[in-house]
Structure 1
Amino acid sequence: MRGYAILMVVLYHFFPTYFPNGYIGVDAFFVISGFLIAMILTRDEKMNASVLLTFYYRRIKRIMPLYYLVIIGIQLTLLSLLPSTYLKINQESCWRSIALISNIKQQGIDQEYEKMLLGAEDLFTHTWSLSVEMQWYLLAPFVFLALRLVAEWEKLVCVGVLFCSLTFYFYTDDMTAFHSVFARMWQFSCGVIAFLALEHKGNSITPPGNYECVKEEDEEEMDNRVQHYGYLFAAAPGFIWIPCPKHWLRIATTVSFAALIHFGSSYQVVTFSNRFVVYVGDISYALYLIHWPVYVVVNSYSWNPLTDYLAMITISLILANAIHYLFERQYQQWSRNSISAVVIILMATSMALFHKLTISMDYMKEQKFDLANININDSAWNMTLTRYATESVNIRDWQIGNFCQEDLKFREGLHRRRCCSATNGTGTYRILVIGNSFACNQGDLVYNAFRKYVSRFMIVAHAGCEFMTGTDSSYCLRGDFNHTAVLQRTKPDIVFVMSRYFAAKAWFNTTRPISEDGIFQDFMINMNELERITNKVYLLQALPSCVKGCEYKAFMFTKNGRPLRDIKDGLIERDEFYARQRILEVGKRCSKCEIIDYYPLLLDENEDYLCYDSRTNIMLFDDSNHLNIFGKERIRNMFDHLSEKFGKEISHI
């Protein structure tokens, strides 16, 4: 069973478009964990201190040595293989992983699981489930101690715990429902109930004389005790697209897995023993720990999607096998003192490396850079200057906070996103900048140019998504961010729609009327809504995308003094054509809107758009496709001209 569960998770992380329901693999792990812990904690008649210590020791032995070894590997990767911009993204998640509290997060868009998967920059994203597991292990003995006090009602009490947890899961916010051990307790409880019901029937999972010998190896035996077709039916949603709400799919999956564990455990004959699945189940823990960091690292060096995915799968399997056979299986045979010493040493090492990460971050914050220091004859120095500039901007969190306080909240059932407002303007206009991360990245340019007209300035950003059309991501398609409600709540006089486009760049048949294009129709619906509510709309035109990790690739290319012009257009994806056509047509049909186009301002001396200045070797974008400080300097005057033009327009009203 663990083999299929880990396959679902890995496929979901590597290929989310094709396996959007693979997240249920983690739900299966939680059910299995509940069943196994119930098996272990009910074998002893008394729940005394010795039993508790033995239980906790075995859980530590099972989880922590390999866990902290991989954490150390991730930290070394951060310090040696990845751009230093990854340090800020991973700093907080690193110490939370060390403390096994990765599932305890502050509310915010950057901490949402699907957004973190989409960004693929946090190497510790996947550790949340292990934190939930460890917190469950901490609580489980006390749960079973309470059950023993009401032995006659233990199943009823367990069902009560299940429903209390399920109620909390449904009525709390999405982030807490996903990460909290209390909101996941119902899944562990399903596994517990499956075992208690089996025990009530008088069935034995192992021969009576061997019941005390149940060890972690029981997890491997579990894989072969599930009825073949029933399991395939339960696992199918993880491998195919089923249009089912996540909450209900999670419930159906949890109940199905619990039922299959219960009924499958009644059989001593192997009913489901696919060799590949059993093999994957054997290395499942190592594979779970290693696959996501491998994905992030390969993604950061990405050049070709096909070779990227082959590399991700190959490297993940090689490393998972290596640490499973050379370390995980070996330390299971070690003495208690040896295990304790190894865990302490690994924890201490991970904390020491975290301290080194913190020192590196402090060093970045102290760096000073001066645009006057640009030396057009020294490409390596200029790229170093670019990195310091980008890191400084990233540390300031997309510039939000310098002029705009994150105090803007919405009702109407909206979840809080990256929203902020400023009230220190002297004008009479309410200005809203809305979009995705571009709104945060460039909102300060709007504010500084239009400050004298502002009575209230607001930024609302749904990072990774598009305001004018739907984005093909489960994170953006959830429907929990109502743009119409935002507009009605903020009542802006002027709106800047500033988005980095994704879905809007899709192909359409240019020989057909553009009015037949679904994405164009989305644009017009939203533009009509904007014109109805506001007086003026500025719509950002689409730009070519930088390739993944473009700035880092430029940094490595110029490392030995090679000028960026030699890379030519190797950092650019020419993907903007169809989006620009759609936006041009929207502009023709919109009486209140004006198109903002950065493209002419970002061309080099040869009128080429390359994402860098070929004369100075300076990048204009960072690895996240955001304008860095040099790129923003290129477009700053445009907003000053827009402000001046706006002033002339209102003077004639």
Structure 2
Amino acid sequence: MLIFSGNSEVLNPRGRVSRLDFFKNNMTIDEIIELNDFYNKHNLDILGDCIKRNPMTHPKWCEYEGDGPAIKVVLFGNSYTWNHHKMIIQECRHQVKNFTMDSEEGCEPLAATSLFPGCDKKLEDFSALLKAIRPHYAFILSRFYAVAEPFTNNVMDLENDRIFLQMRAQLRRFLPNIRQKLYILDTIPRVIGQNVQNIGRDLKKGVSPEEISKTLYTSDGYERGRLRHAALLKECFGKCEIIDYLPLLTRNFTVLPQFFDDSGISFFTSLGHLSAHGIELVRPIFRDICDKLQDR
């Protein structure tokens, strides 16, 4: 039986950052099942909290101090922003003076989905955030909804595609208020959430990793988001960079995205967020980015 306890090391100095995923070597399959269940139960609450320094003027923004001399960073998007922010603060705080976070349920900064009410208004709010902070660097951290919707008239004609034109308009509002670079998380397939709890249990029954992967994957149109992001990148004039998790998920023993590691620990929760183990999977990407941040 594993015993889990909270981790409050958001602002620990560089070099003393603990893993967030309670991983240990040589875990038994029963411990792996227990760990996956723990990720599903706690989902986001083990991955950080919100510090509100200006609750009267900006009641929805969370702000965090770093150890750096001048650099300001904005993290914004939907629940993936909350999902990622603790790890990014850990990795970047040696370079960054201030972090501001705006995590909006379901709403993406580049385009508005009709699945969540008010996302059209949130497009304006995201733009206002960048205008108010004028960060050196900004990170769009969103799982896809709008950016991967079907193309207008089901034809890939981006110059007449409603979503892409909205993305372009948002980009043009964002870039003048970002001093150095905008990082955009690319779309990846969504996991079938109700099957995440079965990963370890199926492995224990002898189900092959290939068969388990088939129960977790659906063709959900994420490729459309990648096509739109690639086209948008051409309009950034070197001021944008795509962050891509897909190479980390397409490896080892299956041609399908691998939503769990070789031992059966899930990279995702049943709600479709990255688990703490998934956050550790992508940590090296952000470590590399953070080490290169400059106040030019």
Higher RCO, Cα 8 Å, sep 6+: 2
TM-score, normalized by length of structure 2?
0.82
CA contact (8 A) 2:213 2:259 kept: no
Query: 1:629: which partner in 2?
Result: 276
Q: Distance in 1 between matches of 2:64 and 2:155?
A: 46
Give the drift of 1:388.
2.8
Give the drift of 1:373.
3.7
Say if 1:389 and 1:421 are closer, same or farther in 2 by CA, change over 3 A: same
Q: Which amino acid aligns with 1:383?
A: I
Task: Find out whether 1:383 has 2:30 as its counterpart.
Answer: no
TM-score, normalized by length of structure 1?
0.39
Q: Distance in 2 between matches of 1:588 and 1:548?
A: 34
Task: Find out whether 1:505 has 2:155 as its counterpart.
Answer: no
CA contact (8 A) 1:426 1:454 kept: yes
Task: Find out whether 1:570 has 2:220 as its counterpart.
Answer: no
Q: Distance in 1 between matches of 2:148 and 2:228?
A: 9
Give the drift of 1:572.
1.5
Q: Distance in 2 between matches of 1:510 and 1:474?
A: 22
Give the drift of 1:500.
0.8
Q: Which amino acid aligns with 2:79?
A: S
**1:414-493 residue pairs with structure 2 within 5 A?**
416-417=59-60, 419-477=61-119, 479=121, 482-493=125-136
**1:574-593 residue pairs with structure 2 within 5 A?**
574-575=219-220, 576-591=222-237, 592-593=239-240
**1:162-561 residue pairs with structure 2 within 5 A?**
365=5, 370-375=22-27, 379-391=29-41, 394-396=44-46, 399-401=47-49, 405-409=51-55, 411=57, 416-417=59-60, 419-477=61-119, 479=121, 482-508=125-151, 512-535=156-179, 536-558=181-203, 560=205
Query: 1:14: which partner in 2?
Result: none
% identity of equivalent residues: 22
Structure (1/2) with the larger strand percentage: 2
After TM superposition, where is structure 1 displaced by more than 6 Å over at least 4 residues in a row? none
Give the drift of 1:424.
3.4
Give the drift of 1:521.
0.8
Task: Find out whether 1:611 has 2:259 as its counterpart.
Answer: yes
CA contact (8 A) 1:434 1:496 kept: yes
* Bigger Rg over Cα: 1
Say if 1:555 and 1:472 are closer, same or farther in 2 by CA, change over 3 A: farther
Give the drift of 1:538.
0.4
Q: Distance in 2 between matches of 1:590 and 1:567?
A: 39
Deviations 1:9-30 (A, max 9, x none): xxxxxxxxxxxxxxxxxxxxxx
Q: Distance in 2 between matches of 1:379 and 1:579?
A: 36
Q: Which amino acid aligns with 1:371?
A: F
Aligned length: 276
Q: Distance in 2 between matches of 1:506 and 1:446?
A: 28
Q: Distance in 2 between matches of 1:554 and 1:616?
A: 10
Q: Distance in 2 between matches of 1:406 and 1:556?
A: 41
Say if 1:519 and 1:374 are closer, same or farther in 2 by CA, change over 3 A: farther
Task: Find out whether 1:595 has 2:248 as its counterpart.
Answer: no
Q: Distance in 2 between matches of 1:450 and 1:573?
A: 34
Q: Distance in 1 between matches of 2:106 and 2:26?
A: 33
Q: Distance in 2 between matches of 1:464 and 1:582?
A: 19
Structure (1/2) with the larger helix percentage: 1
Say if 1:477 and 1:420 are closer, same or farther in 2 by CA, change over 3 A: closer
Q: Distance in 2 between matches of 1:393 and 1:406?
A: 22
